[in-house]
A and B are shown apart, each in its own frame.
Chain A
Amino acid sequence: MNTFVLNRRNLLAAGGSVLATGVSGLLLPARAEGLAPTPSMPGGANNYLKGAPTVDRIGKGGFWMTGTVRRAGDGAPLAGQRVQIWAHTTEGREGDQRSHGATLTDKNGAFRLEMPQIIPIFGQPHGHLAYDSGEFKTVFLRPVMRSAKDTSLEAHFVLQPA
């Protein structure tokens, strides 16, 4: 015969577990629907040029743009996705064709493209990235470097079906 003893220890444990599940459920509503898609950032599409060529490296390199592309909901990595990258660098302005290039994600959904050093422009050292291949909704990102001396920058896409 089981007797449930309502002592201090049981009460704390039960109350704690209720709190833990309840509160986390409130704080993380996104969990129920899975990973939320990344919204486009303000100014992300500025100086975008359609159809940047897929390249091994933009210009002479020296700076790394890295990131990942995942699917909204389950967060599955998306392989073979084309990511376009451009920025104001030591070799050209944002609007210059030679400042633009594209790369593809690997099987883990990661991308990595070498490019010239990004230089602060319009008051912030920042880069631009675009996904606009059509299969998923178009997203433009505009990550800002913590310091103008950084030699890498990362940006992450979570895409939703178009």
Chain B
Amino acid sequence: MRLAKVTLIWAALAAAICVPIAAAAASPLLAWRDPVYILAGFAGIVALGLVLVQPLLIGGYLPGLSAYRGRRAHHWIGGALVVAVVVHVGGLWITSPPDMIDALLFSSPTPFSPWGVVAMWAIFAVAIIAALRRRLGLRARTWRVVHMPLAIVIVVGSVVHGILIEGTMETMSKAALCALVLAATIKVMADLRVWRKRGTSRGESVT
């Protein structure tokens, strides 16, 4: 029984990420796209999938992973998310430089662009601060105060960005993935009592 439940949770996660990717792989639009553009698009879809994994790891919802290993995986997947976003933006830049420059300068006519660009900067900011966290001497509570708002920006930005795009992703599987990302984020924020005034981890005192 226990094994069945574990298998089910992991299978559900795999399906939540792989079904949208498979559906996008079947998109007729791919026939008229260059390999670089296709790669850029799928890097974006993979990034959205990684955004789903992050709250699940840190919330400890994935069975078989200790809290320590969950946190380690969260760090590595954060790095992978940076790589995916760089491939996404880089590939789109190669495909159509003026469109990508417009997006980065917030002068794009497409309503989804600023959401994606803001989420990108939030991802980069989290990655940089996380990498320097020890050197900066950030305490757990301070780190959390920095990371949580940025995490919300990443999630909301990514979801709105994805939903507004008319691209290779199939509508239903995209909406389902976005709903799961939002649900996982809300759940972990509630469970970890992110908004509590007092620091909860490691018995820290409030400054």
CA–CA, A125 to B165, complex, Å?
10
Q: Which residue of A lies closest to B113 (CB)?
A: A123
Other A-B pairs beyond A95-B96, A120-B166, A123-B167, 11, CB < 8 Å: A43-B110, A45-B98, A46-B96, A119-B29, A119-B32, A120-B29, A121-B96, A123-B164, A123-B166, A124-B166, A148-B166
Contacting pair A46 B112 (CB below 8 A): no
Question: When the two chains form the complex, which single residue of A43, A94, A95, A123 contacts B165, counting CB atoms closer than 8 Å?
Answer: A123
Asked if B204 is an interface residue, CB under 8 A from chain A, the answer is no
Shortest distance between the CB of A58 and any CB in chain B (Å) = 15
Asked if A88 is an interface residue, CB under 8 A from chain B, the answer is yes
Question: When the two chains form the complex, which single residue of A45, A95, A123 contacts B112, counting CB atoms closer than 8 Å?
Answer: A123
Chain A positions near chain B (C-beta within 8 angstroms): 41-47, 88-90, 93-95, 119-125, 142, 144, 148
Shortest distance between the CB of B77 and any CB in chain A (Å) = 25
Chain A residues with CB under 8 Å of B166's CB are 120, 123-125, 148
Chain B residues with CB under 8 Å of A142's CB are 109
Chain B residues with CB under 8 Å of A94's CB are 96
Chain B residues with CB under 8 Å of A90's CB are 32
Question: When the two chains form the complex, which single residue of B92, B108, B165 contacts A42, counting CB atoms closer than 8 Å?
Answer: B108
Contacting pair A42 B34 (CB below 8 A): no
Asked if B99 is an interface residue, CB under 8 A from chain A, the answer is yes
Chain B residues with CB under 8 Å of A120's CB are 29, 166-167
Q: Which residue of B lies closest to A94 (CB)?
A: B96
Chain B residues with CB under 8 Å of A121's CB are 96
Chain A residues with CB under 8 Å of B32's CB are 88-90, 119
CA–CA, A144 to B112, complex, Å?
14
Q: B8-42 toward A: CB 8 Å interface, digit per residue (1/0)?
A: 00000000000000000000010010100000000
Contacting pair B108 A43 (CB below 8 A): yes
Which residues, 63 to 98 on B, are CB-close (under 8 Å) to A?
92, 95-96, 98
Most chain B beta-carbon contacts within 10 A, residue among A89, A121, A144: A121
Contacting pair A46 B99 (CB below 8 A): yes
CA–CA, A74 to B148, complex, Å?
57
Q: Which residue of A lies closest to B168 (CB)?
A: A120
Chain B residues with CB under 8 Å of A119's CB are 29, 32
What are 21 sample pairs from A and B whose C-beta atoms fall under 8 A apart? Answer: A42-B107, A43-B99, A43-B102, A43-B108, A43-B109, A43-B110, A45-B98, A46-B96, A46-B98, A46-B99, A47-B98, A47-B99, A95-B96, A119-B29, A122-B110, A123-B113, A123-B165, A124-B166, A125-B166, A142-B109, A144-B109
Chain B residues with CB under 8 Å of A41's CB are 109
Shortest distance between the CB of B18 and any CB in chain A (Å) = 23
Q: B169-194 toward A: CB 8 Å interface, digit per residue (1/0)?
A: 00000000000000000000000000
CA–CA, A88 to B92, complex, Å?
14
Contacting pair A122 B29 (CB below 8 A): no
Chain A residues with CB under 8 Å of B108's CB are 42-43
Which residues, 151 to 175 on B, are CB-close (under 8 Å) to A?
164-167
Most chain B beta-carbon contacts within 10 A, residue among A45, A89, A123, A124: A123
- Given contacts A88-B32, A123-B167, are A47 and B96 in contact (CB under 8 A)? yes
Shortest distance between the CB of A21 and any CB in chain B (Å) = 37
Q: Which residue of A lies closest to B161 (CB)?
A: A123
Q: Which residue of B lies closest to A123 (CB)?
A: B165
Contacting pair B102 A46 (CB below 8 A): yes
Shortest distance between the CB of B101 and any CB in chain A (Å) = 9
